[in-house]
Amino acid sequence: MSDANIPPVLAEVTRSGIVESQHRGHMVVLAADGSVQFALGNPNISIFPRSSIKCIQASAMVRAGLKLEPRLLALVAASHSGATMHQDGAREILASVDLDESALLNASDKPLGDEERKQWGAKPATALAHNCSGKHAGMLATCVKNGWSLGNYLEASHPLQVACRQELENLAQEKVSLVSVDGCGAPLFVLSLMGLARTIHAITISTDPVHVSVLRACKQFPEMVAGEGRLTTRKMREIPGLFIKEGAEAVEVGSLPDGRTFVFKIEDGSWRAFGPIVVRILERFGIPSKDEVTPIYGGKEVIGSIRAIF
């Protein structure tokens, strides 16, 4: 790889004043009017947005007739920690259309949240504990509402997935370049980082009642979108109107009510620099935010940190 193709360093890890590791990546930040405020790396790089676009999938479901109270709608757009309230919420969604967890076709897993996983212990993984079970429960409920088949709802050609793709393409203003499969088993759509930025900007400033309802639910119930102790929940509670959502392999999106938007992808797939990077972006927006210092320990003492450097 030539130097011209190596993405810039977005965050670095220091130990005793020496840079020990670096996290490189690509970033697009949009002004309120949708123009590019600044970009780092390659804004046109093709990425898997992973779970960062669950609000788009949830929007497609609502447009197709899904009706849920805001607390449960936020869960449909979530990568939840697997707490009891999350799993119970997914059960509620399924029960609303006379289904139970046996209808879920997503992969099985143990809870995503650190504390929730610890409490889970040696119990086997389940589909309900998977962080995407709220989304899949919503997908199944949408299928029931429309009389669509349930046994193949994860196929890319299924009417539900076609609707999700169309919703994404309309907001991104670009065609999906490839369809793969996400970790949960749902279709995974490839688009450019700039397309992802356009998507989040568009849904943020949209007056479409569908989009408004989904983002309002996420902001109203941030604990359902992620979980206690996680960056997504902390920051949405802290900063009124902020929407943020993470995706696997270190994708992050965020926006403010006026349309200011950010998206980034860390090349090595690590989430550990998310906090400092998000705080730095908010600083550049002129928004004070509680620091998200990630300490580096030497024994029992803090001797370094992870910090954003753009």
Phi, psi of 178 (to 5 degrees): -165, 150
Domain contains 100: no
pLDDT digits (tens, 9 = 90+) for 196-211: 999 999 999 999 999 9
Measured distance CA(113)–CA(230) in Å, rounded: 8
Domain contains 232: yes
pLDDT at 108: 98
Percent of the chain with pLDDT over 90: 97
As separate numbers, helices (DSSP H) first and strands (DSSP E) second, the chain gives 11, 11
Contacts of 140 by beta carbon, 8 Å cutoff, 6+ apart: 93, 94, 97, 99, 103, 104, 150, 153
pLDDT digits (tens, 9 = 90+) for 218-234: 999 999 999 999 999 99
Tokens (6 digits) for 40: 């780092």
* Mean pLDDT rounded to a whole number for the chain: 97
- Confidence band of 188 (pLDDT split at 50, 70, 90): very high
Q: Ramachandran region of residue 79, left (φ > 0), alpha (ψ -120 to 50) or beta?
A: beta
- Confidence band of 294 (pLDDT split at 50, 70, 90): confident
Q: What is the 3-state secondary structure (H, E, C) of 41-92?
A: CCCCCEECCHHHHHHHHHHHHHHCCCCCCHHHHHHHCCCCCCCHHHHHHHHH
Measured distance CA(135)–CA(113) in Å, rounded: 17
Tokens (6 digits) for 276: 């400092």
Where does residue 297 rank: exposed (0-12), middle (13-18), buried (19+ CB within 10 A)? Answer: exposed
Domain contains 243: yes
Q: Report yes or no on whether pTM surpasses 0.85.
A: yes
The terminus-to-terminus CA distance of the chain in angstroms comes to 22
Q: What is the number of domains present in the chain?
A: 1
Measured distance CA(41)–CA(146) in Å, rounded: 43
The CATH code of the domain that includes 37 is 3.40.710.10
What's the average model confidence in pLDDT over 179-183? 98
- Domain residues for 46? 8-64+154-308
Domain contains 120: no
- Confidence band of 3 (pLDDT split at 50, 70, 90): low
Domain contains 193: yes
Domain contains 116: no
pLDDT digits (tens, 9 = 90+) for 32-60: 999 999 999 999 999 999 999 999 999 99
pLDDT at 293 over 90: no
Domain contains 139: no
Percent of the chain with pLDDT over 70: 99
Q: What angle do CA 189, 237, 54 make, to 5 degrees?
A: 15
Domain contains 302: yes
Tokens (6 digits) for 5: 């193709």
What's the average model confidence in pLDDT over 71-87? 99
pLDDT at 1 over 60: no
